[in-house]
Copies of this chain bind each other. A is one copy, B any other.
Amino acid sequence: MAKEAKQEFVQHITPRNENFSQWYTDVVTQAELMDYTPVRGCMAMKPYGNRIWELIHEHLDAMFKETGHENVSMPMLIPESLLLKEAEHVEGFAPEVAWVTQGGVEPLQERLAVRPTSETIFCTMFAKWVHSWRDLPMKYNQWCSVMRWEKTTRPFLRTAEFWWQEGHTVHATPEESEEETQLMLNVYKTFCENKLAIPVYAGRKSDKEKFAGAQATYSVEAMMQDGKALQAGTSHNFGTNFSVPFNIQYLSKDGRLEYCHETSWGCSTRLIGAIIMTHGDERGLKLPPAIAPFQTVVLPIAAHKGGVIEKCTEVVEALRSDGIRVKFDDRDNVSPGWKFNEWELKGVPLRLEIGPKDIEKGQVTAVRRDTFEKTTLPLDDQLPAAVNKMLGDIQENMFRIALAFREAHTKDVSGMDELKSQVDGGYARAMWCGDRACEDRIKEETGATSRNMPFDQTPIGDKCVCCGKKADRVMYFAKAY
């Protein structure tokens, strides 16, 4: 049977430097994160990929609740008339909406959009729910999937349907909505860095790149191993852009009707794509312990020898009751070597091997996925603590490596040639005059887009990288997913 399974399993993963895009596809499918479906542009998340999303959900949801947000669930269909209320918004989203036109046997009088995002239905409900200053702030979030009829799709990175969370909040003043926008941007930054081990640049989007209908959009931008940017989360301040057309007003303390100030913010299953492309290697996926479905896998060596399975079972139970997510791979139809490959491909952070010799010496053999370093840990009461410590080290080391990569692939540039060559495999930091025309030209000539303007705007020059005119903005440029 070992042979049969082997034939199914060991497939070639394209080397990253040969074809990064093919490498990505190989990893996504061979690690069994998702599968293609007969529904155009829509994927199925398999248990392993879905579990990563569940863990992302768990961590982020706790952070949302700690910062005073509550979850709600809104309808997935939105009447066309609502979508039309905010002009920029409809222009941005209408071309990629899937429309329901028939309900049961009868054609609908009004088309219903499968939500591409939910600002318009949230705003409709907020207009009903907000009355006085005492109702504010109203800070809601929902976990759901949304649909955008994309022309070309790629697993996790761009799919017609994707899973996400979308926060929608209402405030009394512009100061409060700006504070919320920054707060949630910072939640995303903290989450990406501490849980996904992905360093991100946080900053403000240009007008060209901001969300359709927003006053200001902020983003966190990650760097993939091919040097391209991936927008990992966005946070929008709408000001009164939606509250005016949707008539969301509140009675202030001194008895006046005032328009509310709103925000929205979201991140999606594309984070899974970011994890793969930030950390993965020739052997496959490499998962940060905080969101790994299995943080450690326990493998019996010479399992037929007396006491091995029993000892493994003990260890598994001890780790599990300490809260560690552990997989016990006791399959008897594949070899240990086969299992090594499989769990490396699936990115499990730590492998624990237990054989007769280990038991004799009172140890387990530990192999780290991040460094392939092989050590031994004492097989005693302190094992769960030692494993937790090692998982912590792996989490930190993965961040350190990703950060070093990003720093090595970010460069200040002052002219178009330099910019063009830099964005071939990294981020360019440059001065920009603020003109849309320069952004467009940069895109045309280099393929890079403006990513965001960092909060630290210490100038690195005074001329626009493109037109050479006076410039006072620092902007990151990169090719992007």
Residues of A with Cβ closer than 8 Å to B? Answer: 1, 4-5, 8, 35, 37-40, 42-47, 50-51, 53-54, 70-79, 82, 95-105, 111-112, 114, 121, 124-125, 128-129, 131-132, 134, 140, 144-145, 147, 149, 161, 163, 333
CA distance A76 to B98 in the complex (A): 12
Question: Are A39 and B121 neighbours in the complex by a CB distance under 8 Å?
Answer: yes
Residues of B within 8 A of A145 (CB): 73, 76, 144
Known: A95-B105, A104-B95. A45 touches B73 (CB 8 A): yes
CA distance A98 to B78 in the complex (A): 13
Interface centre among A37, A144, A149, A333 (most CB of B within 10 A): A37
Q: List 21 A-B contacts (CB under 8 A).
A: A5-B134, A8-B131, A35-B129, A37-B75, A37-B124, A37-B125, A38-B124, A39-B77, A44-B125, A45-B72, A50-B71, A51-B71, A53-B73, A76-B114, A95-B104, A98-B100, A99-B101, A99-B103, A100-B114, A134-B333, A144-B145
Question: Are A35 and B71 neighbours in the complex by a CB distance under 8 Å?
Answer: no
CA distance A398 to B255 in the complex (A): 45
Shortest Cβ-Cβ A-B pairs, 4 listed: A47-B70, A42-B75, A99-B102, A104-B149
Chief secondary structure at chain A's binding surface: mixed
Residues of B within 8 A of A42 (CB): 75-77
CA distance A124 to B42 in the complex (A): 14
Question: Are B147 and A76 neighbours in the complex by a CB distance under 8 Å?
Answer: yes
CA distance A72 to B33 in the complex (A): 10
Question: Are B47 and A140 neighbours in the complex by a CB distance under 8 Å?
Answer: yes
Question: Are A70 and B51 neighbours in the complex by a CB distance under 8 Å?
Answer: yes
Question: Are B98 and A99 neighbours in the complex by a CB distance under 8 Å?
Answer: no
Question: Are B104 and A97 neighbours in the complex by a CB distance under 8 Å?
Answer: yes
Question: Are A161 and B125 neighbours in the complex by a CB distance under 8 Å?
Answer: no
Residues of B within 8 A of A124 (CB): 37-38
CA distance A35 to B74 in the complex (A): 10
Question: Are A102 and B105 neighbours in the complex by a CB distance under 8 Å?
Answer: no
Residues of B within 8 A of A37 (CB): 74-75, 121, 124-125
CA distance A161 to B131 in the complex (A): 28
Question: Are A43 and B98 neighbours in the complex by a CB distance under 8 Å?
Answer: no
Question: Are A78 and B149 neighbours in the complex by a CB distance under 8 Å?
Answer: no
| Extra A-B contacts (11), CB below 8 Å, given A37-B121, A99-B103 | A1-B134, A37-B75, A37-B125, A46-B72, A50-B72, A76-B114, A76-B161, A95-B104, A98-B102, A101-B101, A144-B145
Among the listed B44, B71, B111, B128, which residue makes an inter-chain contact with A72, where contact means beta carbons less than 8 Å apart?
B44
Residues of B within 8 A of A82 (CB): 38
CA distance A44 to B111 in the complex (A): 19
Interface centre among A43, A73, A111, A129 (most CB of B within 10 A): A73
Question: Are B44 and A74 neighbours in the complex by a CB distance under 8 Å?
Answer: yes
Question: Are B72 and A38 neighbours in the complex by a CB distance under 8 Å?
Answer: no
Smallest Cβ-Cβ distance to A105: which chain B residue: B95
